[in-house]
Structure 1
């Protein structure tokens, strides 16, 4: 089926020069502990590591209209863990020590922004340690990957104590669920009828370099939503061009430990109380394929940052990249 949306010219390859760029700032959004045996193999049964739950502020300014769009990618941990559902509160007991401050709102305030200044919150996926507190953003639009809506209304569809979801997490009237990356977009409103300053979240997914499915949401090559299957239904990443030949890839939970990226470790698996084989990724094979594509991007010179990237956070060179710090 053809689409009524205006087709754009194919995007330029990753890393190519282009006038259109975005600014990307890291946001502190809590820390918690990961038992290594659930994430990497081989691993000691007692090894734990404190990791961040990073969020990001992405700022796009249209060079022709000077219109500014502010996007937050993920909201990290909920500052009051008692506001999680009972199953997640129980799961959180296994992730101690845990700290929830500064959360996203305080991290934005450090740079002089209020939640009302944010136009969109894009979720990489809807696991508890990424959804934060959506009610802090009463005027923005939420964007989730395809399948996230069904997942939030499901019960017990995935194994693991981390896979419990909230049906009422997001306001339906302000939530956009992206189209299925494996189907053509249905015909709908012509793009000319939409706000010309708004990102285009309803378009056909298309190949981009080594990435098989992306959305060029500003149609200028500055910011792509990337279909990144494997970890959870609806898992998406962002590829942001931050300089003439410089890009950063925000990889969410595509990988939880850089030792897997370096092929020093493998993805971990474990047996639950019923003897079922579990993995932190809903589809391990797809997750491995996604990691392979990210390894290609990194080898081509694109910076990759994962949501729980303790190595990136601990690098002193990155401290000035947190919002508010670079302005001191």
Structure 2
């Protein structure tokens, strides 16, 4: 049994969060860029899921987090290189977006305390300007990408916007590879139940680097390297011995999880070998850790998880009436 599920019960084991899916657009993926082997013409329309996580502290205070914002409502609001790439992902829809999906359950952007990005690819960042009161949280290395600090990424999906996030309302997590990192050695909050993004990364069960965000075992930020610098996942406890793992773009197709397919690669116009993952070796290690969690009873949901979305039993897990 997984250490996540088998550890001795403590008072904090009662702490849980509510997790609801949010519709945040759909796009169409050419399979050859994501899985191997694949037909040159095979295409699949997939969601770009976002999630609403709600945590109630022992004092009754509710913290609301949105994990990813999906597709931007107005494509013309993307930079020109991203718009050109988005044109290759048709059919593409942006209605409903995250704001409309939140409204279906009675929430507005000002109700959201934090927006946590799994990573900063265009189909996950949405429209940050819709959330003028929220604090944005990104994994370590994401801000460098936004500033154009990496020249090793290839492919038309590897464009980023330097002005994406408001500097005064953005937290970049500390480097999980540096155990003695000054940023990770400090803690901004001392009360269990309050979010603390500045605490050290620690080992938790099968996961080598996590942050116990509320320090009550209800929600963990998980270092999930491979897809893109700063790629992070969330592990949420939603009930007694019940966990949901929000896996972002750690994997784009469950056939890879089932070992029916491999991760795809292709050559760009300049002859570079490209992969949807910045570091394929690290991505495969992350996928194997996720496989192990799934084998031990943790529910896994990927950002582009069309199998999960199409399962009728999951319709009630969206926030508000299904749009």
TM range (shorter): over 0.9
5 Å-filtered alignment, 1:195-206, equals 198-206=194-202
5 Å-filtered alignment, 1:77-226, equals 77-154=71-148, 156-183=151-178, 184-186=180-182, 191=187, 198-226=194-222
Runs of 4+ in 1 over 2 A off after TM superposition: 187-198
Structure 1 residue 157: deviation in Å?
3.9
How far apart in 2 are the matches of 1:195 and 1:25? 26
Match of residue 37 from structure 2: 42
Contact conserved, 1:55 with 1:75, CA < 8 A, in 2? Answer: yes
SS for the counterpart of 1:308 is coil
SS for the counterpart of 1:87 is helix
> Structure 1, unaligned stretches of length 5 or more?
1-11
Match of residue 7 from structure 1: none
CA deviations on 1:64-115 (whole Å, 9 max, x unpaired) are: 2011000000000001000101001000111000000100000000000000
- When normalised by structure 2's length, the TM-score is 0.94
Structure 1 residue 187: deviation in Å?
6.6
Distance 1:119 1:192, change over 3 A: closer
Say yes or no: does 1:13 pair with 2:3.
yes
SS for the counterpart of 2:54 is strand
Match of residue 267 from structure 2: 271
Match of residue 310 from structure 1: 306
Match of residue 253 from structure 2: 257
Contact conserved, 1:226 with 1:237, CA < 8 A, in 2? Answer: yes
Match of residue 25 from structure 1: 20
Contact conserved, 2:186 with 2:199, CA < 8 A, in 1? Answer: no
RMSD: 1.8
Choose the corresponding residue for 2:53, options 20, 45, 58: 58
How far apart in 2 are the matches of 1:152 and 1:42? 32
Count of equivalent residues: 315
Contact conserved, 2:192 with 2:216, CA < 8 A, in 1? Answer: no
How far apart in 2 are the matches of 1:226 and 1:61? 21
Structure 1 residue 13: deviation in Å?
3.4
Contact conserved, 2:249 with 2:303, CA < 8 A, in 1? Answer: yes
- When normalised by structure 1's length, the TM-score is 0.92
Contact conserved, 2:186 with 2:200, CA < 8 A, in 1? Answer: no
Structure 1 residue 185: deviation in Å?
3.6
Contact conserved, 1:145 with 1:177, CA < 8 A, in 2? Answer: yes
Distance 1:299 1:263, change over 3 A: same
How far apart in 1 are the matches of 2:210 and 2:110? 28
How far apart in 2 are the matches of 1:19 and 1:91? 45
SS for the counterpart of 2:238 is strand
Contact conserved, 2:184 with 2:199, CA < 8 A, in 1? Answer: no
SS for the counterpart of 1:200 is coil
Question: Is the deviation greater in 15-24 or in 218-227?
Answer: 15-24
How far apart in 2 are the matches of 1:294 and 1:193? 30
